[in-house]
Amino acid sequence: MSDKRKDDPQRGVALKTRDERKSKRPRMYRVLLHNDDYTPMDFVVRLLQTVFRHSEGRATEIMLHVHNKGVGVAGVFTHEIAETKVAQTHMLARQNECPLMASMEPEDDDAES
């Protein structure tokens, strides 16, 4: 950050101006859940509530979308958080002997939400 000083001869005051630099928003990533024929629906709903902090109703909607369409978005996060959510999903699925798979993909900058 560079500072520039300008003297105001009329007031005898030094004014300090700052170069404006906008912070770039971090790239966001979708965490996707993939349907399989073995993971119980109630497990997916509980996972969406605990790992992704969805309400029971919203978690059920997402689970049904995944079930009917084959894949669905569990949430959108920064890269590091998305990686953590994918890892948590896989860990909980394995602990519960479920083959549930999660992945992440970059969110399109110009896509509509």
List the CATH number of the domain containing 102. 3.30.1390.10
Is residue 10 a part of any domain in this protein? no
- Domain limits at 84? 28-106
Dihedral sign of CA atoms 57, 75, 104, 49 in order: negative
Is residue 73 a part of any domain in this protein? yes
Domains of the chain: total: 1
Is residue 7 a part of any domain in this protein? no
Is residue 89 a part of any domain in this protein? yes
Residue pLDDT, tens place only, 31-61: 999 999 999 999 999 999 999 999 999 999 9
What Rg, from alpha-carbon coordinates, does the chain have?
Answer: 23
Query: What's the token pair of residue 14?
Result: 């030094």
DSSP 8-state symbol, 74? E
Residue pLDDT, tens place only, 66-110: 999 999 999 999 999 999 999 999 999 999 999 999 999 999 854
Is residue 46 a part of any domain in this protein? yes
Does the structure show a pLDDT above 90 at 3?
A: no
Does the structure show a pLDDT above 50 at 112?
A: no
Residue of 57, 82, 108 whose CA lies nearest to 74: 82
Query: What's the token pair of residue 113?
Result: 């939400």
